[in-house]
Amino acid sequence: MNTYFTFWHYGAVIVITLVLIALIISTLLHSKVSSKLSIIFTYTLAALGFMFTTILVIDNYTKKITLSNVDDYRFYPTEKIFFTGSVRNSGDYTIAEVRVEIKIVNKDSAAKEGEPSYQSNAFAELIGDAKVKPSFFITTEVVATNLKPGQRKEFRIIMPHPSYFKGYSSYVRAYGQ
């Protein structure tokens, strides 16, 4: 069973935890420090922030995914968009989950000229106003699990095509966890 962490993640967590423990012991051994609890709390918050940042940086270097052969086509009878392609682990470590995120944006001819066919309001979209039609949709799906280094996996994602879209532009990205 593979997890989210590699041995680099575990090493960083262990080193940061040991440094935190040493700082806490050092603070407790000082007799002149009057507010030991607030100093320990500050050390803990700083260590957690540093640990989070370190894990993100390690992810950036250990989880490398290559997206290739991405193609999309619209199936008119069902008003669906089919996205096909493949993901490949181009790093040196196994990736527990590979997700593909697809964003489709309305390609309205009136909007290209600077005059949208309907008024899009971000606040109205947030609260769910029925009269406001969203100008984009995002779908994220897990397309591979436990992807070994160098391994490739084909995927197919189906999205609905809104009837009021005059066309669409698609943006596809893949990331690992």
CA-derived radius of gyration, the chain: 24
Q: What is the pLDDT along the chain (177 residues), one digit of tens a residue?
A: 456 777 888 899 999 999 999 999 988 888 776 788 888 899 999 999 999 999 888 888 888 888 888 888 888 888 889 999 999 988 888 888 889 999 888 876 454 444 444 555 566 556 655 566 777 888 899 988 888 888 899 999 998 888 877 888 888 888 887
Tokens of 174: 């893949």
Return the CATH class of domain 65-176.
mainly beta
The pLDDT value given to residue 1 = 45
What is the sign of the dihedral through the CA atoms of 46, 51, 52 and 58? Answer: positive
pLDDT at 94: 83
| pLDDT given at position 43 | 92
Is residue 7 a contact partner of residue 93, using CB atoms and an 8 Å limit? no
The pLDDT value given to residue 129: 55
Residue 99 exposure: Cα atoms within 13 Å on the Cβ side:
9
The domain ranges of the chain are 7-62, 65-176
Residue 111 in contact with residue 117, Cβ under 8 Å?
yes
Q: Alpha-carbon distance 42 to 49, whole Å?
A: 11
The sign of the CA dihedral 76, 77, 78, 84 is negative
Query: Which residue shows structure tokens 């181009």?
Result: 90
Is 85 buried (19+), middle (13-18) or exposed (0-12) by CB count in 10 A? buried
Confidence (pLDDT) at 61: 82
Q: What are the backbone angles phi and psi of residue 134, rounded to the nearest 5°?
A: -65, 145
Enumerate residues 6+ apart whose C-beta is below 8 A from 24.
40, 43
In the structure encoding, which two tokens stand for residue 136, read together?
């984009």
Q: Which amino acid is at 108?
A: D
